[in-house]
Amino acid sequence: MTNIEITFHKERLFFRSEIMDGGIFLTYYVGDLPSSYLYCRDTLAYDAHLLNFNQNYNATKEHWLFNNQCNEDYLVALLKELKCENTLEDLRDKMNKRFEKHERSIISDA
């Protein structure tokens, strides 16, 4: 079973980190399209971003765990707890529109 843990922090978001076995994926939110990079374990960049990640993680008070046991009801309850004013359908629609926009950009650049 794969677990994904999500936390929210109050720093300005310029990149998102995803820590996997042996590396950390960073997606930078600069420019029109996000750019993703992989930094391997035992490098200065990996160590620096892991330290930043751990500091943010330890500073957050709430953590949410997602795995294959979670269902749509769990997600809807979480959105309500977070005081999200959008419905799940609205969020899916926004996601699909964003994906279509970026997909067109990628295809037109090829």
Chunked mean pLDDT (size 10), the chain, 110 residues: 72 76 84 80 91 84 80 88 88 87 64
The confidence score (pLDDT) of residue 47 equals: 92
Task: Report residue 98 as tokens.
Answer: 């964003």
Could you give the angle at which helices 72-81 and 88-109 cross, rounded to 10 degrees?
Answer: 100
Q: What span, in angstroms and rounded, lies between the C-alpha atoms of 24 and 46?
A: 6
Quote the pLDDT of residue 105.
Answer: 66
Per-position DSSP letters for 15-49, written without gaps between them: EEEEEETTEEEEEE--SSS-EEEEEETTSHHHHHH
Predicted TM-score of the model (pTM): 0.53
